[in-house]
Structure 1
Amino acid sequence: MNLNLCPRSFVLVLFTLITISSHAEEKKEHNFERWEKSISQFEKQDQEQGIKPGGILFVGSSSIRMWDLDKYFPDQPVINRGFGGSEIVDSTHFADRIIIKHKPKVIFLYAGDNDLARKKTAAEVAADFKKFVAKIHKSLPKTRIVFIAIKPSLSRWKLADTIQKANQLIAAQCANNELLEFADVWDPMLGEDGKPRPELFKSDGLHMEHAGYLVWKKAVQPYMNQK
């Protein structure tokens, strides 16, 4: 390799190498294998408890996984299929194994939080939601899907503008489809200062205390019993 380059040529070569490296990084395949243990545990639960069609299924990341649904909705046929750290694409990928076979009458999805933290754009998150909807409705054309808005949090407040943009794009999708709903938790989780209410969060500033889940319960309740 000829290294006797003029400064301008050297800069161009360096820029090209950086660009190639960046593109290679972007094209890395998503690691679905990391969730195999969690998905297998769900399948074991299904074998032990049996499948009861027509329930209300919650799926998504850690905010769903940590939600004691039986406690907050004791009289509802709720199913928790949250796995912490997951993105929308993960719920789509494993839909056949953890969602579709339950034939739920309504699905509540909370994801997008981790997606944006891992540098996805608002448009990419909205596109991933569209693919999730397509996956579900291919097998369950009458199932309602409720997207729980990406929440504001203390630890990810720097992403507030991007989160709001993603929420707006997804809310627009929901407004154009009678089987989609958008449950807003953004506004009720903000204080009078326009920032996340500290009392709603655990010490990590990301996951929620009981008070936070009470806000979520109020937000999703209207969509649980609709026909």
Structure 2
Amino acid sequence: MSPGRWNVRWNALSSLALALLLAACTSAPPAATAPAAPPQVPEQVSSTNWEQDMQQFEAADAQSPPPRGAVLFIGSSSIRFWEALAQDFPGVPVINRGFGGSELRDSTWYADRIIVPYAPRQILLYAGDNDLNAGRSPRQLRDDFRAFVERVRRDLPDVRTAYISTKPSPSRAHLLPAQREANALVQAEAQRLGVDYIDIFTPMLDASGQPNEALFIEDRLHMNRAGYEIWQRVIAPYIR
């Protein structure tokens, strides 16, 4: 073969090899995409810390079943420590299901154990200041309140519900702005949902607009008898 013919064939082979190489590159599978981010863990709605409290309530119910159609008080320690609850509302069958340190979401979470079985005629809920102290925002508290009402109405559509506003505690005076905002948001939502809103925040302030120290025990968080007397006076007109 002459050198000229060889060069022609070599150039043709080179062109063919280059074309095949380019085709291989363009038809190669695309690089693997990055794996999708794992789904976010849903926000914890309650804590198992209250399981012992639930078991104690259930044991008490088994020993002495509470009356159906009663007025149920539920929520955090301000309800739990209301030892004179029955005496403060004479002639009214009441059930106290307060569990100290709880947040509003906890009452929603345990509704099937400490609300629905009692078939109460009325529910009075006190919760919120623990929530704000733990870092939940006023809007989150409003949303938690809405979720509570929706959960109760799912099984007890005709039950009357009232929300007791957060109280102004001297030990948590730094929360007053957040409490005012949360109370206003919950009050507006309560009106929209047809729920009673009970303001105990205002009557527990002193003349300077600060939490009234005279209404609290030494820890400046929980109420003494004078504090509960205000609660009784303010709440009584809402009891049905």
1:106 aligns with 2:122: yes
Q: Does 1:75 align with 2:106?
A: no
Give 1:71 deviation, angstroms: 2.6
Decide whether the 8 Å contact of 2:46 with 2:106 is kept in 1: no
> Residue 181 of structure 2 aligns with which residue?
165
Aligned-partner SS, 2:193: coil
Code of the aligned partner of 1:222: P
Aligned length: 200
User: Given the alignment, which residue of 211, 215, 218 partners 1:200?
Assistant: 215
**1:27, distance to aligned residue in structure 2 (A):** 6.3
The equivalent residue for 2:135 is: 119
| Higher Rg of the two aligned structures | 2
Question: Aligned to 1:155, what secondary structure does the other structure show?
Answer: helix
For 2:71, the equivalent position in structure 1 comes to: 56
2:150 to 134, 143, 153: 134
Task: Name the SS for the 2:208 alignment partner.
Answer: coil
The alpha-carbon deviation at position 73 of structure 1 amounts to 1.8
1:1-227 equivalent positions in 2, closer than 5 A: 29-30=44-45, 32-68=47-83, 69-178=85-194, 180-225=195-240
| Deviation, structure 1 residue 177 | 2.8
AA of the residue aligned to 1:137 = R
How many Å separate the matches in 2 of 1:31 and 1:185?
26
* 2:53 alignment partner AA: S
Deviates more, 1:67-76 or 1:157-166: 67-76
SS in 1 for 2:135: coil
CA deviation vs aligned residue, 1:34-67 (integer Å, no higher than 9, x gap): 0001011111111111242110000000000000
Residue of structure 2 in register with 1:11 after alignment: none
* Aligned residue type for 1:213: Y
Q: In structure 2, do the counterparts of structure 1 residues 31 and 109 end up closer, same or farther at CA, with 3 Å as the change threshold? A: closer
- Give the TM-score of the pair, scaled to structure 2: 0.80
- Per-residue Cα deviation, 1:150-199 (whole angstroms, up to 9, x for no partner): 01110011010001111001100111233x10010011001111111111
Equivalent residue, structure 2, for 1:12:
none
What secondary structure does 2:145 align onto? helix
Q: Which amino acid aligns with 1:42?
A: F
Q: CA deviation at 1:31?
A: 5.1
> Can you give the 5+ residue segments of structure 1 that lack an aligned partner in the other structure?
1-23
C-alpha distance in 2, partners of 1:143/1:218?
Answer: 23
Change in Cα spacing, 1:33 to 1:168, as seen in structure 2 (3 Å) is same
The TM-score normalised by the length of structure 1 is 0.85
Identical-residue share of aligned pairs (%)? 42
SS of residue paired to 1:206: coil
